[in-house]
Amino acid sequence: MGDSPAGKGEGKRLMKLDRNDRLVMIGDSITDCGRGRPIGEGSSDGLGRGYVSLVEAFLTSAYPELNIRVTNTGISGNTVRDLQQRWQTDVLELKPQWVSVMIGTNDVWRQFDRPTMPEIHVLPEEYEETLERLVAQTAPSVKGIVLMTPFYLEPNKSDAMRARMDQYGGIVKRVAERNGTLFVDTQAAFDRVLEHVYPAVLAWDRVHPSAAGHMVLARAFLDAIGYEYKRNNG
Amino acid sequence: MGDSPAGKGEGKRLMKLDRNDRLVMIGDSITDCGRGRPIGEGSSDGLGRGYVSLVEAFLTSAYPELNIRVTNTGISGNTVRDLQQRWQTDVLELKPQWVSVMIGTNDVWRQFDRPTMPEIHVLPEEYEETLERLVAQTAPSVKGIVLMTPFYLEPNKSDAMRARMDQYGGIVKRVAERNGTLFVDTQAAFDRVLEHVYPAVLAWDRVHPSAAGHMVLARAFLDAIGYEYKRNNG
Amino acid sequence: MGDSPAGKGEGKRLMKLDRNDRLVMIGDSITDCGRGRPIGEGSSDGLGRGYVSLVEAFLTSAYPELNIRVTNTGISGNTVRDLQQRWQTDVLELKPQWVSVMIGTNDVWRQFDRPTMPEIHVLPEEYEETLERLVAQTAPSVKGIVLMTPFYLEPNKSDAMRARMDQYGGIVKRVAERNGTLFVDTQAAFDRVLEHVYPAVLAWDRVHPSAAGHMVLARAFLDAIGYEYKRNNG
Amino acid sequence: MGDSPAGKGEGKRLMKLDRNDRLVMIGDSITDCGRGRPIGEGSSDGLGRGYVSLVEAFLTSAYPELNIRVTNTGISGNTVRDLQQRWQTDVLELKPQWVSVMIGTNDVWRQFDRPTMPEIHVLPEEYEETLERLVAQTAPSVKGIVLMTPFYLEPNKSDAMRARMDQYGGIVKRVAERNGTLFVDTQAAFDRVLEHVYPAVLAWDRVHPSAAGHMVLARAFLDAIGYEYKRNNG
Amino acid sequence: MGDSPAGKGEGKRLMKLDRNDRLVMIGDSITDCGRGRPIGEGSSDGLGRGYVSLVEAFLTSAYPELNIRVTNTGISGNTVRDLQQRWQTDVLELKPQWVSVMIGTNDVWRQFDRPTMPEIHVLPEEYEETLERLVAQTAPSVKGIVLMTPFYLEPNKSDAMRARMDQYGGIVKRVAERNGTLFVDTQAAFDRVLEHVYPAVLAWDRVHPSAAGHMVLARAFLDAIGYEYKRNNG
Amino acid sequence: MGDSPAGKGEGKRLMKLDRNDRLVMIGDSITDCGRGRPIGEGSSDGLGRGYVSLVEAFLTSAYPELNIRVTNTGISGNTVRDLQQRWQTDVLELKPQWVSVMIGTNDVWRQFDRPTMPEIHVLPEEYEETLERLVAQTAPSVKGIVLMTPFYLEPNKSDAMRARMDQYGGIVKRVAERNGTLFVDTQAAFDRVLEHVYPAVLAWDRVHPSAAGHMVLARAFLDAIGYEYKRNNG
Amino acid sequence: MGDSPAGKGEGKRLMKLDRNDRLVMIGDSITDCGRGRPIGEGSSDGLGRGYVSLVEAFLTSAYPELNIRVTNTGISGNTVRDLQQRWQTDVLELKPQWVSVMIGTNDVWRQFDRPTMPEIHVLPEEYEETLERLVAQTAPSVKGIVLMTPFYLEPNKSDAMRARMDQYGGIVKRVAERNGTLFVDTQAAFDRVLEHVYPAVLAWDRVHPSAAGHMVLARAFLDAIGYEYKRNNG
Amino acid sequence: MGDSPAGKGEGKRLMKLDRNDRLVMIGDSITDCGRGRPIGEGSSDGLGRGYVSLVEAFLTSAYPELNIRVTNTGISGNTVRDLQQRWQTDVLELKPQWVSVMIGTNDVWRQFDRPTMPEIHVLPEEYEETLERLVAQTAPSVKGIVLMTPFYLEPNKSDAMRARMDQYGGIVKRVAERNGTLFVDTQAAFDRVLEHVYPAVLAWDRVHPSAAGHMVLARAFLDAIGYEYKRNNG
């Protein structure tokens, strides 16, 4: 289904975020994208050059009346283990109404590109327990949480790293279901595009998205929170 | 009206661009945004950090099967007089199927911030004649042209520079009508957002857009070429 | 009235500053202008590239016998809330005979360009109370205080941000009157120039002055402290 | 005499420059001060950081209605021999109504700091002939020329380099008298300040002025062209 | 078989290169690796940081008496079409006794990561004809040519780009057979390692080798030219 | 003796390192070569540009199934006195199975290039005692230690610094014998090459090796740990 | 008197420094000249680019058998007040046999170029007391002290700053006499050269010496410690 | 023999250079030392940081009345073959009274560190013929030529490169004798110092001198042109 049938401004609003809500988006390098420090916000540079900036741009341009505050606390190279270390300062103390989490790429990747360093591999059990704990701890104090799967832009599902990433995506889905959060299957969103283009169009290393790749992420996120596209001349 | 009622992939396609079409987008600093030289294309950096990159990201992520080629030939500081000098190399020789033009900001601005330098002021008559000539010369060899108005993020329509910019926007509209091109009223798109936010949210100097401002431009352009928003899970 | 009727060196001196006086000028980015750290003084670079350097240059070139010491302690982005934090070290401990304060731009601006961040908005009540407190605390230990209004180079007085800036300028005036300090209406000084030129000539973003804009500020300040222009060959 | 007795806007105007006049200021490093290339104008950075920028700031802030265009074509290290090489492109082709020239520092300095290189010494005869030729060639096509002496911030008139600089200043005066141009004795203006301060306050090397030194130059120039100081609240 | 059974210095030498031979190695970024310009040689920096430098280091350390000259003329981004343009200056005019060529990565890659730009795709027919022409033209004037296949560090042979790369590797093999040159199957050498490690260990983007990846290339090349490993204490 | 007679994969493996072993290589600038901080590992840049990176590349390319972890903790300028200071953190706490040490260059060099600074000269007695202590302390907790001599690329054995370096190499040999460690005579390996080339080919300053020099070191080390060269097509 | 009449190696040695002596040279920017931190020594860069490096070069090239250690602890901008703060760490703890001190330039200069800042002026009484105290405190533990006067490259002795510098030079002489140290009249050494050249040849700002100026200083110092010039072929 | 017995200013002057003479010093990197381009002169930076700057500093400080002009036209990496290419512009067209030449290091060095590149080896015959030709061509138009030998800071005269360098030094001596020029045996000057210190004290790579090494060169040159050392207090 496409847009709301009710038209602009009269029917039921699908958008789940309310006026003056704050949305904190945490994750790894795909979220970070060069954001400002210590807290990324306040301008497009402050939000980095990835999907977080696009989300803010969509919300401000389409819902200027909502005055949504978007904050980026992604850090390159992070695993869920790192998120746990800084969850208090980088999520809870910011007192958001909404939180999004996209983590897991490095948890998996290190198992494949640094096979000699087991101490930096975050295995499925630790991944699930940690993510579960963070979500459970946060849910009571926010209006909503959006859990986004990690992804790997490898269309061959029997590739070892893709298979492992899908396993972690499955964990995210289970955590979302158990905790009743919103869920974004980023891998599925990318897979639809990969039916038509080779992965190199979306990410030079199958991990870090191009501008088009970040647009896929932003749109998948926006769909989850009820964004309605309105034609400019609608 | 919002999306196509026909649903994904079965009804009439609104998108005016065809598979393998090339779209050349020319303009001034708002188009340029740090694009690659001599021709801006090939990656998000090559397309700059503004609305052109967003347009490409929208098209690739939503219409990956169309394989649209987007090329940015904006140059900071340009007026329509400059476009004329490089039209042959920067538009015609690239053999595009589609051309977009957004020019006029500097034609107007120099009249206000450099009042002592009349030789760099492009007055309305020259502006209209030059734009008309470029469009008329190009129309026979392309599938379509998109004329975008210049804009000024000053909500007070009696401000001297805003009034002058509106005059130039009117010229763009007349040229579009006379030549049967697509037309994008960027000023109107911004005005709808300015009902809710102060100009500083969209541009620090009322001219160069923030990320949100570029999203306004990209969406206005996409509406004009028949982009249909499809929900990720639609 | 123009110059002193009494002529050079014989009539009553209008200049309020005495030999060896120290003048500390505090404020935000308009005062800062890249001054040296931790204390800005000692050379033109140390004083930044704005009105403070001009004031020093005027005093040294026209009153070399007075040996006035000018110190710049402006910091970009400051509000009156920030001044309060550093008033002890950046004003009182420097033991000046004269103090000038120009603050309020960011107190107001953040309300317009960062509408989502209420914690950094300094509203009128806090602004007035804080400024009042700083002035009252300082007056007993100095020969004089010069309060300069913040300004916004937008000639349209019904513009939302201009109207708010005028409100803050009114507060400065009331504080000056209650405490018997010198008062400089920078907005009025700019408004006289804006009758003839568009704001872009004085500041690219309506906030940060050009060289001409800083000259307006310096001259307005100098008038307040009794500077007399002497022709070189007078 | 100080200000005009007639008050603002009604009596006889002393200012010699007319509305829309262009003033080209040429010279050496003291004029250059990091101006833009190839022609210095258009913004404070474009005019460099010296007396030329101050002159423009004075004119724009005090006579905004005159719309005077100031252009800086100083080049560091130049002698009058260099000016002759580029006079056609850097003065005449700019079609100014007014021209100012301050040259001679390097003509003299090289005789003292590079005694081994006679080919770069411009001796008095060559200096006078060249300057005479430039002025005579230019006078017919402009409204006015302002000749400014070179200077050396050494108060001891029997110092060898000061004595030589005074000789060159005398040449400038003779050329000015023979050609009926305006004349600015910058050395005299500095000497009045040097009665009260040591040279190091005005220039670290007795040649390149501090901010205060440039203010001395700007004010001396402005006096010559009829600038009237108007109190801000006059 | 491993080393020569005959022992150091007495049996038949396997090494095909003779004393004072010059070996020119041409290719794309995998060969280039930051080599010196215009000709890469003379030091490890001059040879770049890839397999070419390793080859030189092996030859100098193991066969110091042969005084082999290694020259790197790889250029990042090159296709076989680019090699043809510079073959005269970058191979023939250097008068080598031996030439190695590893080209094809970009010929294939551009078909996948720049699908919108057909003019930069080098298709199989052009690839084979051009490579054939270069080899045939060069063979008469050298002692030997080493043709190295391009490679793609994707173990899944049904991946579209891997399949295409294998097709180009097959072309290289045919050209080598037709012309009687030495042949190095780099893909096969990598495939043996990929049985044990994930591709990310050998190349972050499946194209540009890590230090270990370059060692694979160097060793494959050395085997082809008859390098014999001698134990240090042998 | 050359390669193993038994052929690939069937006979007795000579390689002394086992699957998942960690090898820490410590030393001075010859080991450091710009490695990452605080611990050098994880990528070719992390391991520096010298023999350590080559060792890792050899092991990964030839024994990918062993998953050996190589860690570089060399620091430029170090003497054995410095190693002692950081042995706990830079060797023992990393819990390696294997340790290599190449130290002594600076212990000797400072005696010759800084003759005025006796406090930084590490004389033979201190050198031997310290090295002995480090080895004895470490042996119980590792599978093996490799002691590499320092070297000086001066073929004239009566040169004062070469003679002193040989003395230190003799100490290393004695320590190795007393403790039953592996021993690598790097000087002997270089001397074999120096029979054919002048020292400048291997090191511009007779100390810091070229790429070929590092290859000599890497191969000498590999021979000591049982590396078997396998032809690519063997 | 010129050289020793006794000739090389047989008569009485004039050189006061003995084998293995350490000479610590402390002062301001004229001594510092970009030396290494925290202690300047060990190479020409470590000793800075001024007279200290020249002194070391003279001693090493002419008296290589003495193995003199030269250490530079000058710091730009220092006054004698600053020397006192760091005398313990930068002189005494280095345990020198010889100490040279050249200080006073900034003590005087600040009185002239920063007339508004009395707190950084070191007046004669403080200067003399401090220098006296440092010398008296140091003499017992060293073989010798060399006191060098500050200087000002202004030949006009009635210039205010020159006269003040001569006053400080007189103080140095008195301290030297009272304490029986060696004494170097740098001003006198410069004055002899200034009879023939203008100050700009020796220092662009009359303070910081050119290469020739540093040679004057080095030679004056060397004369004081008994350096004998020996012809290369003598 | 030491100094002139006649004392300052009365006996026969030994100095061969006359007032206002120009001395052009050409050579390779040892002469260049980062001099200014295209012609090195005018300040210590312009003359580079080596012996040329020292020579100028000696002459200016000891013979200020002679006003000698020193010009550095050394270029790093040059051989005598390169000097021939630029002799017309870099020596003859500068119209010097005196010329010094120190060349040959690279002519020899390339034979040892680039054994694979015979085309850049300048062998003895070519070296002698070329140097002879340059000297013979120049002698008629100058007052004097100073030929300085190349050198190698290796005390072992049977070292291959040292022996070769001595051979080239012998050639320089023969050319000097045949043409009656001044001759400086730099190798002999260094050898006297090397009796006491290890080469590393004078040059890190046995080629590029330290500050002390450049002092050896400068003093050897000065001795040849008749420099007399005068005690400062003589």
Q: Output the DSSP codes for C124-176.
A: HHHHHHHHHHHHHHHGGGSSEEEEE--------TTSHHHHHHHHHHHHHHHHH
pLDDT, tens only, F80-139: 999 999 999 999 999 999 999 999 999 999 999 999 999 999 999 999 999 999 999 999
Q: Is the pLDDT of residue A171 over 80?
A: yes
Q: How high is the pLDDT of residue A37? A: 95
Of chain D, the percentage scoring pLDDT greater than 70 comes to 92
Say whether the D–A interface has 3 or more Cβ pairs within 8 Å: no
For B68, name the nearest residue in chain E, comparing CA atoms only: E116
Average pLDDT over residues F157-168: 97
Asked if A120 reaches chain F (Cβ–Cβ under 8 Å), the answer is no
Asked if A205 reaches chain F (Cβ–Cβ under 8 Å), the answer is no
Average pLDDT over residues F152-159: 96
Asked if D22 reaches chain B (Cβ–Cβ under 8 Å), the answer is yes
Residue A64, preceding peptide bond in cis (omega within 30° of 0): no
pLDDT, tens only, B140-195: 999 999 999 999 999 999 999 999 999 999 999 999 999 999 999 999 999 999 99
In a domain, H115, yes or no: yes
Q: How high is the pLDDT of residue F154? A: 96
* CA-based nearest residue to C102, from C123, C60, C131: C131
Q: What are residue C40's phi and psi, to 5 degrees? A: -90, 110
All residues of chain H having their beta carbon less than 8 Å from the beta carbon of residue E22 are 116
Asked if D14 reaches chain C (Cβ–Cβ under 8 Å), the answer is no
Q: Give whole-number Cα distances, E193 to B31, E197, E216, in Å.
A: 47, 7, 9
* CA-based nearest residue to A52, from A10, A99, A88, A97: A99
The string over H177-210, giving b where at least 16 C-beta atoms fall within 10 Å of a residue's C-beta and e elsewhere, is eebebbbbbbbebbeebbeebbbbbbbbbbbbbb
* CA-based nearest residue to D20, from D70, D55, D54: D70
Q: Is the pLDDT of residue A234 over 50?
A: no
More confident residue, B109 or G1: B109
**Out of G3, G159, G208, G210, which one is annotated catalytic?**
G208
In a domain, G180, yes or no: yes
The string over D90-115, giving b where at least 16 C-beta atoms fall within 10 Å of a residue's C-beta and e elsewhere, is bbbebebbbbbbbbbbbbbbbbbbbb
d(CA E228, CA E226): 6
Burial of A119 (0-12, 13-18, 19+ CB in 10 A): exposed
Helix (H, G, I), strand (E, B) or coil at B187: helix
All residues of chain F having their beta carbon less than 8 Å from the beta carbon of residue G68 are 116
Say whether the D–B interface has 3 or more Cβ pairs within 8 Å: yes
Q: Are D115 and H67 in contact (CB < 8 Å)?
A: yes
All residues of chain B having their beta carbon less than 8 Å from the beta carbon of residue A216 are 61
All residues of chain D having their beta carbon less than 8 Å from the beta carbon of residue B114 are 42
Q: How high is the pLDDT of residue A149? A: 98
In a mutational test of the A interface, the residue from E114, E205, E207 whose CB has the highest number of chain A CBs within 10 Å is E205
D73 within 8 A of D39, measured Cβ to Cβ: yes
All residues of chain B having their beta carbon less than 8 Å from the beta carbon of residue D67 are 115-116
Q: How high is the pLDDT of residue G42? A: 83
In a domain, A17, yes or no: no
For D198, name the nearest residue in chain G, comparing CA atoms only: G112
Which strands make up the sheet holding G182-184, listed edge to edge?
A: G69-72, G22-27, G98-102, G144-148, G182-184
Asked if B2 reaches chain A (Cβ–Cβ under 8 Å), the answer is yes
Q: What element of type H or E holds B101?
A: strand B98-102
pLDDT band at residue F168 using 50, 70 and 90 as cut-offs: very high
pLDDT band at residue C150 using 50, 70 and 90 as cut-offs: very high
Q: Chain A closest CA to F175's CA: distance in Å? A: 31
Asked if H196 reaches chain F (Cβ–Cβ under 8 Å), the answer is no
In a domain, H2, yes or no: no
Q: Output the DSSP codes for chain E.
A: --S-TT-TTTS-----PPTT-EEEEEESHHHHTT--SSSB-SSTTTT-SSHHHHHHHHHHHH-GGG--EEEE---TT--HHHHHHHHHHHTGGG--SEEEEE--HHHHHHHHH-TT-GGG---HHHHHHHHHHHHHHHGGGSSEEEEE--------TTSHHHHHHHHHHHHHHHHHHHHT-EEE-HHHHHHHHHTTS-GGGTBTTSSSB-HHHHHHHHHHHHHHTT-----TT-
Average pLDDT over residues D156-176: 97
All residues of chain A having their beta carbon less than 8 Å from the beta carbon of residue E193 are none
Asked if G20 reaches chain H (Cβ–Cβ under 8 Å), the answer is no
What are the 10-residue block averages of pLDDT along chain B, 234 residues in total? Answer: 41 88 98 96 87 97 97 98 98 98 98 96 98 98 98 96 98 98 98 96 94 97 91 52
ipTM for the whole complex: 0.93
For B43, name the nearest residue in chain E, comparing CA atoms only: E114
* Angle, alpha carbons H58-H64-H65 (nearest 5°): 140
Q: How high is the pLDDT of residue E190? A: 98
All residues of chain B having their beta carbon less than 8 Å from the beta carbon of residue A7 are 1-2
C40 within 8 A of C46, measured Cβ to Cβ: yes
Q: What is the mean pLDDT of chain C?
A: 93
Domain count, chain D: 1
Say whether the F–A interface has 3 or more Cβ pairs within 8 Å: yes
Q: Are C198 and B109 in contact (CB < 8 Å)?
A: no
Q: Is the pLDDT of residue A232 over 80?
A: no
In a mutational test of the B interface, the residue from E110, E114, E116 whose CB has the highest number of chain B CBs within 10 Å is E116
Average pLDDT over residues H145-158: 97
Q: Which residues of F are designated catalytic?
A: 29, 205, 208
CA-atom Rg of chain C in angstroms: 17
d(CA H227, CA H230): 9
Q: Are G232 and H1 in contact (CB < 8 Å)?
A: no
Q: Give whole-number Cα distances, H100 to C134, H145, H210, in Å.
A: 72, 6, 21
Average pLDDT over residues H141-159: 97
pLDDT band at residue F185 using 50, 70 and 90 as cut-offs: very high
pLDDT band at residue A6 using 50, 70 and 90 as cut-offs: very low
Residue of F156, F158, F204 with shortest CB distance to H205? F204
Average pLDDT over residues C90-97: 98
Range of the domain at F37: 22-224
Q: Is the pLDDT of residue E43 over 90?
A: no
Asked if E198 reaches chain A (Cβ–Cβ under 8 Å), the answer is yes
At H213, list the tokens: 């090494």
Asked if G234 reaches chain H (Cβ–Cβ under 8 Å), the answer is yes
F98 within 8 A of F17, measured Cβ to Cβ: yes
Q: What is the mean pLDDT of chain F?
A: 93
Q: Position of tokens 């999520």?
A: A91
pLDDT, tens only, A104-152: 999 999 999 999 999 999 999 999 999 999 999 999 999 999 999 999 9
Q: Are C219 and D61 in contact (CB < 8 Å)?
A: yes
Q: How high is the pLDDT of residue G210? A: 95
| CATH code at position G159 | 3.40.50.1110
Q: Chain A closest CA to E116's CA: distance in Å? A: 10
Which stretch of A1-5, C214-218, H64-68 has the lowest confidence by average pLDDT? A1-5
* Angle, alpha carbons F85-F88-F89 (nearest 5°): 95
In a domain, D184, yes or no: yes
Q: Position of tokens 């061509």?
A: H137
For F43, name the nearest residue in chain A, comparing CA atoms only: A114
Residue of G195, G212, G231 with shortest CB distance to H2? G231
Q: Is the pLDDT of residue H140 over 70?
A: yes
More confident residue, E10 or C99: C99
At G67, list the tokens: 């193995």
Q: How high is the pLDDT of residue B229? A: 76
Chain D, window 154-173: residues with a beta carbon less than 8 angstroms from a chain G beta carbon? 156, 158-161
For B116, name the nearest residue in chain C, comparing CA atoms only: C201
pLDDT band at residue C148 using 50, 70 and 90 as cut-offs: very high
Q: What are residue D22's phi and psi, to 5 degrees? A: -110, 130
Average pLDDT over residues D184-189: 98
For G69, name the nearest residue in chain F, comparing CA atoms only: F116
In a domain, C231, yes or no: no
Asked if H114 reaches chain E (Cβ–Cβ under 8 Å), the answer is yes
The beta-carbon contacts of E121-125 under 8 Å, at least 24 apart in sequence, are E122/E79, E122/E80, E122/E81, E124/E167, E124/E168, E124/E171
Q: How high is the pLDDT of residue D9? A: 45
Q: How high is the pLDDT of residue A231? A: 64
At F39, list the tokens: 């611990």
d(CA E183, CA E225): 10
Helix (H, G, I), strand (E, B) or coil at G212: helix
In a domain, F234, yes or no: no
Q: What is the mean pLDDT of chain D?
A: 93
d(CA F140, CA G100): 54
pTM: 0.92
Say how many CB pairs under 8 Å bridge A and F: 10
At D73, list the tokens: 């074509």
* Angle, alpha carbons D54-D55-D60 (nearest 5°): 95
In a domain, C5, yes or no: no
Q: Are E61 and F216 in contact (CB < 8 Å)?
A: yes
Q: Is the pLDDT of residue D157 over 90?
A: yes
Which strands make up the sheet holding H98-102, listed edge to edge?
A: H69-72, H22-27, H98-102, H144-148, H182-184
For H63, name the nearest residue in chain G, comparing CA atoms only: G193
Q: Is the pLDDT of residue G182 over 90?
A: yes
